[in-house]
């Protein structure tokens, strides 16, 4: 797991904070579907409603793919939030686009992968957000099973959990992200989204999200 660049990480974090795609509430935490308490809620889909932010993220992801995965022959989005981001990137790079469902469609062709399946085609997978990496890596496995060569994954933001890093390492999948939790915190402090006194609690959540405030 790596950041594309420190400069990009800071810029993307600031833009996501500015449009409230990232919201921080250390004293009134969110509850995730898993039951975990969290001081952060990240919804990068909001960036699609802001053309300047949308274009900045698209261009940054294109640059990251060209730099880290220059052999890319196709782009795959992970349903659902990775689909629009992936389509934008594929259009910008003039590459074929496909997307991967979380499970096979229950009717018709019962596809899990939508779009033309080309054996041995080199594909880069697009995600908007990485938490533990479980659903993202499930999409990778579906692509491999269909005959694609998965070069790696590019994402907008990651919480930077150790579990996610281990999951990607175990799966031997390279992950490149535009920004992460650690890069976001200084931007949040500078912008007065949170105070210096919140830093300890915010740092503890990143280290142990499953037990934080339980």
- Residues at the binding site for orotate are 131
Binding site feature residues for 5-phospho-alpha-D-ribose 1-diphosphate: 101, 105, 107, 127-135
Do the beta carbons of residue 142 and residue 119 sit within 8 Å? no
User: Cβ neighbours of residue 42 under 8 Å, at least 6 residues apart?
Assistant: 16, 21, 22, 23, 129, 157, 159
Strand ranges in 39-186 using DSSP code E only, listed in sequence order: 40-42, 74-78, 97-100, 113-114, 122-130, 149-158, 175-180
- For 87-96, letters b (16+ CB in 10 Å) and e give bbbbeebebe
Strand ranges in the chain using DSSP code E only, listed in sequence order: 2-3, 22-24, 30-31, 37-38, 40-42, 74-78, 97-100, 113-114, 122-130, 149-158, 175-180
Binding site feature residues: 101, 105, 107, 127-135
Phi and psi at 74, nearest 5°, equal: -160, 160
């Amino acid at each position: 797991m790596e950041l594309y660049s420190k400069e990009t990480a800071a810029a993307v974090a600031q833009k996501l904070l500015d449009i409230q795609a990232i919201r921080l509430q250390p004293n009134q935490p969110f509850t995730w579907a898993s039951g975990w308490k969290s001081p952060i809620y990240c919804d990068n889909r909001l960036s699609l409603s802001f053309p300047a932010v949308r274009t900045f993220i698209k261009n940054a992801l294109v640059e990251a793919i060209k730099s880290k995965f220059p052999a890319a022959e196709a782009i795959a989005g992970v349903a659902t939030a990775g689909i629009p981001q992936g389509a934008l990137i594929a259009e910008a790079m003039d590459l074929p686009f496909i997307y991967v469902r979380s499970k096979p469609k229950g009717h018709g062709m019962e596809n899990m992968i939508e779009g033309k399946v080309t054996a041995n085609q080199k594909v880069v997978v697009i995600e908007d957000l990485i938490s533990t990496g479980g659903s993202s890596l499930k999409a990778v496995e579906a692509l491999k099973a269909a005959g694609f060569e998965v070069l790696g994954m590019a994402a907008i933001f990651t919480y930077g959990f150790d579990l996610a890093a281990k999951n990607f390492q175990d799966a031997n999948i390279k992950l490149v992200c535009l920004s992460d939790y650690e890069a976001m915190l200084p931007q949040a402090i500078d912008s007065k989204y949170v105070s210096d006194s919140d830093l300890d609690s915010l740092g503890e959540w990143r280290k142990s999200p499953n037990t934080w405030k339980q």
